[in-house]
Amino acid sequence: MTIISPSILSCDFANLEKEIKKIEPYVPWIHIDVMDGHFVPNISIGIPVIKSIRKITNLFFDVHLMIQNPEKYIDAFIDAGSDLITFHYEAARDKTPKIIEQIKNKGKKAGLSIKPNTNPNEIKDYINLCDVILIMTVEPGFGGQKFMENCAYKITDIKKLSCKNDLIIQIDGGINDLTGKLCTSLGANSLVAGNYIYKSKNIQNAIELLKK
């Protein structure tokens, strides 16, 4: 079964608890985008919000750090309630293995993300250290962007470079029932969707279509 991780970036932040409860019966994960205004040209939520919503749900917190110097904040995000921390290779480079180790030493799952212009071969030495590889199919920073189909074909590259049967290959950006079907047909087993889920008239149906 494909892991669907709804992005709360598309939520009504004035009613965040209610928005989370809308998807809670239908998914195991929730995707939390953290942006710093430096690594990406946008600012979103941070540690205090994660700490607050941890109190109102038992969903698995799939936290995506789109920030510079992620190693400085790993412990704080984990202490706030994160279950999986995915950081960007482009923000870490040669620090990547140490950051993965830092996350795993805290007993949490580690993910590594790549932007559209990054070749999967650049992370070949790190793929098998990770629990999750997140392939961005839009430029990170804003929700609601158009899916970049060429990026989806990185899925097959990651599969060839991995020797892990349990590796989660997650796709984020422009995901809907059609683009999600392409990604899962290529081998993705986790989809992040924001607008497609939260702007849907029937959230349960939208999620079920992604799962299939």
pLDDT tens for each residue of 134-162: 999 999 877 778 999 999 999 999 999 99
What is the C-alpha to C-alpha distance for residues 82 and 103, in angstroms, rounded to an integer? 10
What pLDDT, in 10s, does the model give residues 114-132? 999 999 999 999 999 999 9
179 pLDDT exceeds 90? yes
Active site residue 33: yes
Q: How many CB atoms lie within 10 A of CB 85?
A: 28
Average pLDDT over residues 84-90: 98
The single-letter code of the amino acid at 129 is L
Active site residue 172: yes
Sign of CA dihedral 37, 38, 40, 46: negative
CA-derived radius of gyration, the chain: 16
CB 114 within 8 A of CB 135: yes
CA 84 to chain centre: 9
Average pLDDT over residues 75-99: 98
Sorted by where each starts, the structural domains of the chain and their CATH numbers stand as 3-211 (3.20.20.70)
Instruction: List all residues 6 or more positions away from 107 whose beta carbon is below 8 Å from its beta carbon.
Output: none
From 33, 36, 62, 131, the catalytic residue: 33
From 36, 62, 131, 172, the catalytic residue: 172
